[in-house]
């Protein structure tokens, strides 16, 4: 059986900006697959290429064995796409918007009526179906957008940052809906830069950084590869690099320390991977005190997906987000949005 989604060696450039350098991933039928990475990593461009909204410069894309590039019309019938930004006509009611969506997909009236009732029930929207969407809250607008993406019963539902801007209650409603959708056999491909969202929902994950997949597997597999516990250590609030390097060389001599990374974006803090043991913090503190190195702050935790990203890139996802904002090219973004 062909995978639900197959992407091989995908590449896409916008002018001088290489949005996607080389993305390869496989999504199996009936799973929630998460794409994790900072803004500007290439997630949205990958999804737009999959959903026939942009033409890649190179690569192979298939949905249920159908080539997206060679047979885009057929591929679209198997895809539901919900973009990050919700775009609803405020003068239409929720039901009228779904009727319009059904007409765009050329659904027969009897089937359209049945499907509209189904998605309204699935997303608990019956109470609001005949109210104008301009009166909807952000959470209701997102749920209606999800209903529109599901209306034609696609094999694969593609979601780009589905909970951005939602309150906690609305986020949990969307999460529960996605779990029910997976249980019904629908494949879900979701992008997010929320670590807890991907960790909670995804059966498998691919982490994208600067247009390349840097790690993939189940959340547990990815965290296990990091190994051990994580200790975050600050010699000072903002340590000189020489002092951080001295601490790094010292800590690497301790038998319990597996890896040390200096995080320059966070004041040259040190991120350690250590063999789990009860006295890990005490052992590290004693070694630093003996060497005459102060401790501004220290904390121990279990591995997370952020640790996976840190191990692969030397920076956290938050650092990458801040760097993307600082390096953002408004002209390149304008060209990309126009396309």
Last residue of a domain, one of 219, 241, 259: 219
Q: What is the pTM of this model?
A: 0.77
Tens-digit pLDDT profile for residues 18-63? 999 999 999 999 999 999 888 888 999 999 999 999 999 999 999 9
158 and 135 housed in the same domain: yes
Residues (pLDDT < 70) of the chain are 324-325, 327-339
Q: Which two tokens stand for residue 209?
A: 């950084």
pLDDT at 162: 87
Co-location of 140 and 238 in the same domain: no
Q: Which two tokens stand for residue 286?
A: 């004693």
Identify the CATH number of the domain in which residue 271 sits: 3.30.70.100
Residues 145 and 202 in one domain: yes
Q: For residues 160 and 232, state if they share a domain.
A: no
* Within a domain: 297: yes
From edge to edge, which strands make up the β-sheet containing 257-263? Answer: 257-263, 269-274, 229-234, 297-301
Q: Are residues 235 and 202 in the same domain?
A: no
pLDDT for 103: 94
Q: How far apart are CA 5 and CA 7, in angstroms?
A: 7
Is the residue at 337 inside a domain? Answer: no
Domain that holds residue 113: 5-219
Tell me: do 294 and 265 sit in the same domain. yes
- Would 250 be classed as within a structural domain? yes
Q: What is the pLDDT of residues 82-98, one digit of tens each?
A: 988 887 888 999 999 99
Residue 307 domain flag: no
Per-residue pLDDT, 332: 47
Return the HEC string of 162-188.
CCCCCCHHHHHHHHHHHHHHHHCCCEE
Please check whether residues 179 and 154 belong to one and the same domain.
yes
Per-residue pLDDT reduced to its tens digit, 285-300 = 999 999 999 999 999 8
CATH of the domain at 68: 3.40.50.300
Phi-psi region of 210 (alpha: psi -120 to 50; beta: other; left: phi over 0): left
Question: For the chain, how many structural domains are there in total?
Answer: 2
**Angstrom distance (rounded) from CA 144 to CA 133:** 9
Report the pLDDT value the prediction gives residue 235, as an integer from 0 to 100.
Answer: 93
- Confirm whether 309 is domain-assigned: no
What 3 state SS string does the chain have? Answer: CCCCEEEEEEEEEECCEEEEEEEEEEECCCCEEEEECCCCCCHHHHHHHHCCCCCCCEEEEEECCEECCCCHHHHHHCEEEECCCCCCCCCCEHHHHHHHHHHHCCCCHHHHHHHHHHHHHHCCCHHHCCCEHHHCCHHHHHHHHHHHHHCCCCCEEEEECCCCCCCHHHHHHHHHHHHHHHHCCCEEEEEECCHHHHHHHCCEEEEEECCEEEEEECHHHHHHHHCCEEEEEECCCCCCHHHHHHHHHHHCCCCCEEEEEEEHHHCCEEEEEECCCCCHHHHHHHHHHHCCCCCCEEEEECCCHHHHHHHHHCCCHHHHHHHHHHCCCHHHHHHHHHC
Same domain, 232 and 194: no
Q: Do 33 and 142 share a domain, yes or no?
A: yes
Contact in structure between 177 and 102 (CB atoms under 8 Å): no
Q: Are residues 179 and 234 in the same domain?
A: no
Residue 313 lies in a domain: no
Asked if the structure places residue 326 within a domain, the reply is no
pLDDT at 224 (0 to 100): 83
d(C-alpha 175, C-alpha 158), whole Å: 14
Which of the listed residues 200, 219, 238 is the one where a domain comes to its end?
A: 219
Residues 32, 103, single domain; the answer is yes
Q: Are residues 241 and 285 in the same domain?
A: yes
Phi and psi torsions of 184, nearest 5°: -80, -5
Does residue 261 form part of some domain? yes
């Amino acid at each position: 059986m062909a995978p639900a989604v197959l992407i091989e060696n995908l590449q896409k450039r916008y002018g001088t900006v290489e949005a996607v350098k080389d993305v390869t991933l496989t999504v199996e039928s009936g799973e929630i697959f998460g794409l994790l990475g900072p803004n500007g990593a290439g997630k949205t461009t990958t999804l737009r290429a999959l959903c026939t909204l942009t033409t890649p410069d190179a690569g192979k894309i298939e949905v249920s064995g159908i080539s997206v590039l060679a047979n885009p019309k057929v591929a679209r019938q198997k895809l539901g796409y919900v973009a990050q930004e919700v775009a609803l006509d405020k003068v239409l009611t929720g039901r009228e918007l779904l009727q319009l969506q059904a007409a765009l997909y050329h659904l027969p009236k009897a089937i359209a009526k049945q499907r509209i009732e189904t998605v309204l029930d699935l997303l608990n929207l019956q109470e609001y179906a005949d109210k104008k969407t301009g009166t909807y809250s952000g959470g209701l607008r997102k749920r209606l957008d999800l209903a529109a993406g599901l209306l034609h019963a696609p094999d694969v539902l593609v979601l780009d940052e589905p909970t951005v801007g939602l309150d906690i209650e609305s986020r949990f409603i969307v999460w529960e809906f996605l779990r029910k959708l997976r249980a019904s056999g629908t494949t879900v491909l979701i992008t997010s830069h929320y670590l807890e969202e991907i960790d909670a929902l995804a059966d498998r994950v691919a982490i994208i950084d600067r247009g390349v997949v840097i790690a993939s597997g189940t959340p547990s597999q990815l965290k296990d590869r990091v190994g051990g516990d994580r200790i975050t250590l600050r010699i000072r609030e903002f340590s000189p690099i020489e002092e951080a390097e001295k601490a790094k060389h010292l800590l690497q001599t301790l038998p319990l320390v597996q890896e040390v990374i200096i995080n320059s974006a966070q004041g040259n803090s040190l991120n350690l991977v250590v063999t789990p043991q009860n006295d890990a913090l005490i052992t590290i503190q004693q070694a630093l005190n003996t060497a005459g190195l102060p401790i501004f702050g220290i904390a121990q935790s279990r591995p997370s997906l952020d640790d996976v990203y840190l191990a692969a890139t030397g920076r956290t996802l938050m650092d990458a987000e801040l760097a993307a904002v600082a390096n953002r090219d408004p002209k390149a973004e304008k060209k990309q949005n126009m396309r």
